Amino acid sequence: MDDPLDEKLVEEADDKPDDRQDEKNKTIRTGLIILAVVIIAAAVYYFGFMKRPKPAPAVPAPATEVATRLEGQASEGKPQPELPPVELGKSDDLVRQMVKEISSHPKLAAWLQSRDLVRKFTAAVDNIANGLSPKKQVDFFAPGGPYKAVKRGNQYIPDPSSYGRYNPAVDVFISLDPKACANLFRAFKPLFQDAYKELGYPDSDFEDTLVRAIIELLKTPVVEREIPLEKSVVTFRMLDPRLEGLSEAQKHLLRMGPENAGAVQLKLREIAQALGVQDYRIPKPLSLIPEVQK
């Protein structure tokens, strides 16, 4: 069957009286057709039979570029971007860069001058999830000065000034952006998993442990009245057995005072929601009136 395009060209040429011009046009048409066939054949051979070249390896994006994408995608509700590949032992600089996205509080930057940040955070979370004190891992924001109590009658009560020692840490914590925290955690999750394996949990999901730690702290009652204390050998113990029976992690939160503890728990609830924790798993606020010992 003749090509329709060729028929059209022939009809246009028949209108011209010059036979030489007609012959020239036919030659041009034939050459174009041959050239088109050659190009098509070459393309079929190249894409159908030859191996396609491998794409060049992606160049890791600088931390600043990833931080910009993280901020924009978090605000638009887009999936978390991947971070540049980095080893656990060399991740401190990237952590310091990326953490700027969750809070601009100047105190946070000072704390992040510590080393092995991912390992310390992972160990602290694991301790809290198991009711243990995270003091050893987060010593960089330990409150200044000793815990104080004042004597009232035959017993002691916490000195309100002791609560103020935790104000800087609480101010930093409540400055965190919950959604940015969740996005940043997911971005760093492979590193957290590596650190968690080092702690002896090769098959456990660290995100589950993080959620357990949040729930552990949210189970701490907020005590709005003065807590009766008695002096022990080293420090003070709470006379109410319900409070003295709390885990070490919960007692640390309690020592921050009712206002600080309430503010921390409010932010923890927001972070839990940003992580997608179901509402029924998030403990409701709990208040407790301590027993008065006579």
Whether residue 176 lies inside any domain: the answer is yes
User: For residues 290 and 243, what is the distance between their CA atoms, to the nearest angstrom?
Assistant: 8
Determine contact, residues 252/173, Cβ cutoff 8 Å: no
- Residue 142's pLDDT band (boundaries 50, 70, 90)? confident
Q: What is the pLDDT of residues 74-87, one digit of tens each?
A: 444 445 556 778 89
Q: Are strands 155-158 and 149-152 parallel, antiparallel or unpaired?
A: antiparallel
Helix (H, G, I), strand (E, B), or coil: what is residue 283? coil
Judge if 158 and 256 occupy the same domain.
yes
Whether residue 286 lies inside any domain: the answer is no
Judge if 101 and 24 occupy the same domain.
no
> Which residue bears the tokens 């999901």?
205
Burial (CB count <10 Å: 0-12, 13-18, 19+), residue 133: middle
Is residue 8 scored above 50 in pLDDT?
A: no
The tally of domains found in the chain comes to 2
Judge if 20 and 125 occupy the same domain.
no
The answer to whether the Cα torsion of 227, 231, 232, 233 is positive or negative is: positive
pLDDT (0 to 100) of residue 136: 86
Judge if 16 and 88 occupy the same domain.
no
Q: What is the pLDDT of residues 61-71, one digit of tens each?
A: 444 444 444 44
Judge if 137 and 89 occupy the same domain.
yes
User: For residues 78 and 5, what is the distance between their CA atoms, to the nearest angstrom?
Assistant: 50
pLDDT (0 to 100) of residue 229: 93
Whether residue 293 lies inside any domain: the answer is no
Judge if 134 and 161 occupy the same domain.
yes
Judge if 161 and 267 occupy the same domain.
yes
Give the residue numbers spanning the domain of 27.
4-49
Ranges assigned E (strand) in the chain: 149-152, 155-158, 229-231, 236-238
Side-chain half-sphere CA neighbours of 2 within 13 A:
8
Is residue 201 scored above 80 in pLDDT?
A: yes
Judge if 199 and 151 occupy the same domain.
yes
Mean pLDDT of the chain: 78
Judge if 67 and 35 occupy the same domain.
no
Whether residue 228 lies inside any domain: the answer is yes
pLDDT (0 to 100) of residue 291: 79
Cβ-count burial 139-172 (b if 16+ within 10 Å, e if not): eeeebeeeeebeeeeebbbbeeebbebbebbbeb
Whether residue 243 lies inside any domain: the answer is yes
Q: Which two tokens stand for residue 219?
A: 């189970």
Give the pLDDT mean for 201-217. Answer: 97
Determine contact, residues 181/210, Cβ cutoff 8 Å: no
